[in-house]
Amino acid sequence: MKKTLFDKVWDAHVVKEMKDKQQILYIDKHLIHEVTSPQAFNELEQRGIPIFRPNQIVATADHNTPTLDQHLPVKDEMSRNQLNQLNKNCSKNNITLYDLGHKYNGIAHVMSPELGITQPGMTMVCGDSHTSTHGAFGTIAFGIGTSQVAQVFASQSLLLQKPKSLRITVNGKLKPGVLPKDVILYIIAKLGTNSGTGYFCEYAGSVFEDMSMEGRMTVCNMSIEMGARGGMIAPDETTFNYIKGREFAPKGDEFDKKVAHWKTLPTDEGAVFDQEYHFDAEDIEPMITFGTNPGMGIKINESIPSEDNASFEKSLAYMDFQKGQSLIDQKVNYVFIGSCTNGRIEDFRAAAKFIEGKVKAEHVTAWFVPGSQQVAKQIEEEGLKDVFEQAGFQLRQPGCSACLAMNDDKIPEGEYCVSTSNRNFEGRQGQGARTILASPLVAAATAINGKIIDITKQFD
Amino acid sequence: MDKFTKLTSSAIPLEIENIDTDQIIPARFLKATDKKGFGENLFRDWRFDKNGNTNTDFPLNDKKFSGSILVAGDNFGCGSSREHAAWAVHGYGFKVVVSSFFADIFKGNALNNGVLPVQVSPSFLKNIFEEIKKNPEADIEVDLEAQTITLLSNQQSESFEINSYKKTCLINGYDDIDFLVSMKEEIQAFEKDRVE
């Protein structure tokens, strides 16, 4: 039978089929962080169950960490306690932890790929919905709740029903100024926030084949924003070249053997998906969101559509936008570049390319937050830090930061923030904050101009 | 985990679509290391203004509504995987959430915490909202064994889907951990045999 990439990886991890379509799925790698793991550790301790495979777990501190003065004790008592708890739990159970200040510390979904932990054909989970990021490698990766974190602790497995399959094909060549973030915002705007629920998505077509690993990660990262548990892209030479030589990647003959296996993973010609969508690269423009879910997106030079629906109106009222309004020239006081969506080196390169030789708008507060220590190091080595500093921007220390604003990086009430993160939900970046999702290029242009500009005009 | 078999209760209506987990429990309340106390902050920024004053228009604060069933608009629980959202719903006292569509992760998290997500047709959901509007004390009966939800005031009823394994777990108050631990030999055999 013809199989999809997803089928191949899933089927290779089924320990046992139970009745009612339930399957025991084996998990290769489990990433954990401070926010969604403590209750799972407690659960096991209370039941006297040991951690089954501690060497298949990697921990990082990312959600609830400051992005300034990380060498000092964390000021907020509850945050400090949560971080201490992670530390204690990991040392007690012999789990590798990249704690604050460690050279490998960073957002789980930035850290794991850059260290070569994420590899094609694996199953990976983390108590975080953006675990879908790792699908960029042809990995089955998805977010789980804390009860499931405890299940994986106890058995390195989960009891699941196999999701349905969905393929989104985008062919053609992207226009200048259109970034991977625009591609995924475009897809979500077209399909809506629940079109993927119950599905695992494969992204196919020349647009994704031509994309770098960083770009593919940005796309897969936001699969959950259309409801899909995960997104995947077939591994190819781009994937193999990215992994080769990384800290925990297989080496020598072992690597070649793995590559030979990884080459068997792409979807068979003629395999059938439960649902398929096709888009044309030429129709995609730089995108921007105007509402309070990631599906409420438009091309940057389009006007806000009209919808006669209470939830739509509630959303516009929260954003203080009107139907039919254009967002060009909208004054913006806050810009955030970072997160597991757009906190990788390529994102900072895109921002720096625009910023070089320019000066930031005086009224803008901009937070540039690398996704990991490794990204921070590379930003410095490539001279991007100097570009940012000369333009008046300050580079902060790694973490999830203003994407979910658990730390002090909160956008004040009523303020607009052009953000490269993944969610524009009410209050996501702080109580009353108004988030406008965009690519790192659009975010950089906003930071320089102090308002949203029609970036497409730069490329005419 | 709490057992669930049958419940008859009035309901609190929340006629909003795409209610995400950041609304159910804002991120700033995720700093705890246990599961207690999240109910107090359920829908925090809709229930209270920034000075902590009660927003009396919000259905959870409206005295005419009560009960342990939450009825919400389409695509409830989208967004983050935070199980804190299910703990908040449970902690506040809800045992059932009714909607025309649930996000995957929330649905699983709810089931793992003894909260039953009941997915109904859009027309039945509309029917429920209308009945509650007419009579805020209208009772709804949710029968897990029979997989039915009934508006007792007009006797309209609909059946709902649930995986039979999950149904057994809820009825008996079991969770997946015990089951998976009992499968350890199979899991070890899988680890030994796998070829890649």
Residue A41 has pLDDT above 70, yes or no: yes
Q: What is the 3-state secondary structure (H, E, C) of chain A?
A: CCCCHHHHHHHCCEEEECCCCEEEEECCEEEEECCCCHHHHHHHHHHCCCCCCHHHEEEECCCCCCCCCCCCCCCCHHHHHHHHHHHHHHHHCCCEEECCCCCCCECHHHHHHHCCCCCCCCEEEECCHHHHHHHHHCCEEEECCHHHHHHHHHHCEEEEECCEEEEEEEECCCCCCCCHHHHHHHHHHHHCCCCCCCEEEEEECHHHHCCCHHHHHHHHHHHHHHCCCEEECCCCHHHHHHHCCCCCCCCHHHHHHHHHHHCCCCCCCCCCCCEEEEEEHHHCCCEEECCCCCCCEEECCCECCCCCCHHHHHHHHHHCCCCCCECCCCECCEEEECHHHHCCHHHHHHHHHHHCCCCCCCCCEEEECCCEHHHHHHHHHCCHHHHHHHCCCEECCCCCHHHCCCCCCCCCCCCEEEECCCCCCCCCCCCCCEEEECCHHHHHHHHHHCECCCHHHHHC
Tell me the chain B residues in contact with residue A52 when contact means C-beta distances shorter than 8 Å: 184, 187
Residues with Cβ within 8 Å of residue B153, at least 6 apart in sequence? B131, B134, B135, B138, B139
* Interface residue A264 vs chain B (CB under 8 A): no
Q: What is the pLDDT of residue A19?
A: 84
Q: What is the pLDDT of residue B196?
A: 53
Residue A397 has pLDDT above 90, yes or no: yes
Encoded tokens for A220: 């897969």
Of A49, A131, A426, the CB nearest to B181: A49
Across chain B, how many H-helices and E-strands are there? 8, 8
Top residue of A24, A123, A133, A340 to mutate, by most chain B CBs within 10 Å, is: A24
Query: What is the mean predicted confidence (pLDDT) over A281-295?
Result: 98
Of B20, B50, B179, the CB nearest to A431: B50
List for chain B the helix, strand, coil content (%; round to 5). Answer: 40, 20, 45
CA atoms of A216 and A240, how far apart (whole Å): 14
Tell me the chain B residues in contact with residue A131 when contact means C-beta distances shorter than 8 Å: 81
CB-based contact A293 B78, cutoff 8 Å = yes
CA neighbor of B11 nearest in space, from B127, B112, B110: B127
CB-based contact A12 B112, cutoff 8 Å = no
User: By CA distance, what is B194's nearest residue in A?
Assistant: A12
Of B23, B86, B187, the CB nearest to A425: B23
Of A15, A147, A425, the CB nearest to B83: A147
CB-based contact A426 B23, cutoff 8 Å = yes
Element (H, E) at B99: strand B96-99
Tell me the chain A residues in contact with residue B14 when contact means C-beta distances shorter than 8 Å: none
Tell me the chain A residues in contact with residue B191 when contact means C-beta distances shorter than 8 Å: 26, 156
Q: Which residue has the tokens 């969506």?
A: A341
Tell me the chain B residues in contact with residue A35 when contact means C-beta distances shorter than 8 Å: 30-31, 82
Q: What would the pLDDT profile of A81-119 be if each residue is shown by its tens digit? A: 999 999 999 999 999 999 999 999 999 999 999 999 999
Q: How far is A19 from chain B (nearest CA, A)?
A: 8
Top residue of A21, A28, A164, A197 to mutate, by most chain B CBs within 10 Å, is: A197
Tell me the chain A residues in contact with residue B176 when contact means C-beta distances shorter than 8 Å: 147-148, 151, 158-159
Q: Which residues of A71-85 are buried (b: 16+ CB within 10 A; e: fewer)?
A: eeebeeeebebbbeb
CB-based contact B105 A145, cutoff 8 Å = yes
Top residue of B180, B182, B183, B188 to mutate, by most chain A CBs within 10 Å, is: B180
CA atoms of A71 and A74, how far apart (whole Å): 9
Q: What is the pLDDT of residue B1?
A: 84
Tell me the chain A residues in contact with residue B35 when contact means C-beta distances shorter than 8 Å: 39
Q: What is the pLDDT of residue B195?
A: 61
* Interface residue A289 vs chain B (CB under 8 A): no
Neighbours of A310 (CB within 10 A): 11
Confidence class for position A260, pLDDT limits 50, 70, 90: very high
Mean model confidence pLDDT for chain A: 97
Which residues of chain B are modeled with pLDDT < 70?
A: 195-196
CB-based contact A39 B33, cutoff 8 Å = yes
CB-based contact A194 B28, cutoff 8 Å = no
Q: What is the pLDDT of residue A459?
A: 87
Tell me the chain B residues in contact with residue A227 when contact means C-beta distances shorter than 8 Å: 75, 78, 103-104
Q: Residue B97 — φ and ψ, nearest 5°?
A: -120, 130
Tell me the chain B residues in contact with residue A405 when contact means C-beta distances shorter than 8 Å: 27-28
CB-based contact B33 A38, cutoff 8 Å = yes
Encoded tokens for A389: 């500093």
* Residue pair B11/B67 in contact by the 8 Å Cβ criterion: yes
- Which residues make beta-bridge pairs with A23? A17, A160
Query: What is the mean predicted confidence (pLDDT) over A210-228?
Result: 97
CB-based contact B112 A145, cutoff 8 Å = yes
Encoded tokens for A296: 């409420």
